[in-house]
Amino acid sequence: MILRMVWQSALLLLLAAAGAWATYRWHPGRPELYITGELVTELNEISVSDALALEKAKGVIWLDARTRAEFNKGHIPGAMLLNTYEWVELAPAVIQFLSEAPEQRTIILYCDSQKCSSSHEVAEKMKEMPLGDWDIRVLHGGWPAWRAAAGK
């Protein structure tokens, strides 16, 4: 009787592990295992460590490309919300802020995962606007990577 329970438990554990692996392997929205990894693949992306060093050295402007609900749950201190969903409402305030900024610091956009495309979309829309010569980057790993690096 006990041997049968051990066998069934082991089988269930094996099936659960196989299901988890299959989900990770083929799910299109899977999270990265190493969200703080430094393998930056896009030209306009910046790693968390480089972004934090740049912020410490000369300051950066953080723009959150997630939804308002996600932004309200938590965001990088000092970040402003700018997403494609509410572009018409949010863009004027960001443009006004950038026009009054004392110096052209690096703008770093982030969203909710390493595979998130929202921050890239916002970066492209910003490059089409007459904002001047701003260095616009996307945080590699997004909000989860920043939280992991900040120890939150």
Tens-place pLDDT, residues 47-93: 999 999 999 998 999 999 999 999 999 999 999 999 999 999 999 99
Mean pLDDT over 7-28 rounds to 81
- And the tokens for 49? 């460590």
Rounded Cα distance, 102 and 50, in Å: 22
Mean pLDDT for 94-110 is 87
43 with 91: CB under 8 angstroms?
no
Average pLDDT, stretch 116-140? 86
Whole-number mean pLDDT of the chain? 84
Query: Is the whole-model pTM more than 0.85?
Result: no
Instruction: Check residue 73 and give its pLDDT.
Output: 94
